[in-house]
Amino acid sequence: MFEFIIVITSVLLFAGILGYTLVVFKEKFYLKNNIIYIDNRFISQEEIEDTDMQEFFLDGTKLKAGDELSILTKSKEKFKGILLGAVKKEQSIKIITYANEIIKLKIESINEFKIMSKYGKFFS
């Protein structure tokens, strides 16, 4: 009985390590081919195509679509979410919040922001 538990535990450990390795390879493939994968069913293709910049600098900080941000506006509103990109002609950025709202913020309305997590941080 004890040997059976050890065998089952070993198989589950191997499956977990294999699954984690495959996820890391998938993320590496996406980064190599400049594919930004945001798994959210509330984002439409039009929302993604509306953004014309996926990598840009904001206050001297390099941002990339897929980064997790915490933003505080000048009107003291706080937003947390994932960056979709920037619209250059409107001088704004688009984020999708954890409440699945797509928000477009003018750059001049942003008081401060903090990067919670960088997209592709394993390979940076």
Percent of the chain at pLDDT exceeding 90: 46
Burial class (CB in 10 A: 0-12, 13-18, 19+), 119: buried
The pLDDT of residue 118 is above 90: no
Of 24, 94, 105, nearest to 66 by C-alpha is 94
The whole-chain average pLDDT of the chain stands at 87
120 band by pLDDT with thresholds 50, 70 and 90: low
d(CA 51, CA 94): 8
123 band by pLDDT with thresholds 50, 70 and 90: low
Residue that wins the pLDDT comparison between 13 and 45:
13
pLDDT for the residue 19: 96
Q: Using a cut of 0.75, tell me whether the model's pTM lies above it.
A: no
d(CA 88, CA 55): 11
Residue type, 74: K
User: pLDDT tens digits for 20-75?
Assistant: 999 888 888 887 777 777 777 777 778 777 888 888 898 888 998 888 999 999 99
pLDDT for the residue 122: 61
Of 90, 103, 92, 87, nearest to 42 by C-alpha is 103
